[in-house]
Amino acid sequence: MKRVRTAVFISGRGSNLSALIDAARAPDYPAKIALVFSNKEDAGGLAVAHEAGIPTKVISHKAFASREEFDAAIDAALRAAGIELIAEAGFMRIHSEWFVKRWHGRMINIHPSLLPLFPGIKVHEQALAAGVTESGCTVHYMVPELDAGPIIAQAKVPVLPGDTPETLAARVLAAEHKLYPEALRTVAQKLAARKNIQPSP
């Protein structure tokens, strides 16, 4: 079975990364986590990758004068590693339009709300302030506009009386860990069915 070579992008603790790595251990899983990329060398998720024996690449955005130059360096690293699909999981940099278009249809992200509600940051604060009775998470294709791409899958959780951003975040995160592996499976299966899955040079 062809496994789609996938890079997971992180900036932090990497609990979604863990969930994806666990899922990808199944013999019939259509994605191989071939690289973990981070813009931060102290991202906790890098240790998760090392433990699992997955190659990592760190490039600090601070070393570049523009988003385009940073993204060009990322793109070169991805090509060197033969990456075919990007799964962002808590990656805290906005990409240039050039990069997003280059990886069109091959770059997905998980966001901790029921998009189109509550894009951006402080998501659980936004949900609680709006008084919604349910929230959840969304896996979507990435487009140049933030958190606005076509939705691949969503999972809902209740918002409970007395919830704080932290308690809601924990409930949503547990749902993320189930949703993301399923969504990546769906996307990778579709890509694997295509003949030429490398992005055009």
Stretch that binds ligand GRF, among 14-22, 143-151, 154-162, 181-189 (CB under 6 A): 14-22
Q: Which of 6, 20, 90, 179 binds ligand GRF (CB under 6 A)?
A: 90
Which residue has its beta carbon closest to ligand GRF? 90
The distance of closest approach from Cβ of residue 41 to ligand GRF in the complex, given in angstroms and rounded to an integer, is 15
**Active site residue: 50, 95, 111, 140, which one?**
111
> Of the candidates 171, 83, 184, which has an alpha carbon nearest to the alpha carbon of residue 141?
184
Instruction: Please tell me the distance from the alpha carbon of residue 149 to that of residue 201, in angstroms, as a whole number.
Output: 23
Stretch that binds ligand GRF, among 9-17, 29-37, 60-68, 188-196 (CB under 6 A): 9-17
**C-beta of 14 vs 149, nearer to ligand GRF:** 14
Instruction: Please tell me the distance from the alpha carbon of residue 79 to that of residue 153, in angstroms, as a whole number.
Output: 27
Instruction: Please tell me the distance from the alpha carbon of residue 22 to that of residue 179, in angstroms, as a whole number.
Output: 13
The CB density around residue 57, as the number of other CB atoms within 10 Å, is 18
Task: Compose the 103-122 pattern: x for residues touching ligand GRF by CB under 6 A, - for all others.
Answer: -------xxx----------
> Of the candidates 46, 51, 36, 41, which has an alpha carbon nearest to the alpha carbon of residue 6?
36
Whether 111 sits among the annotated catalytic residues: the reply is: yes
**Active-site residue list:** 111
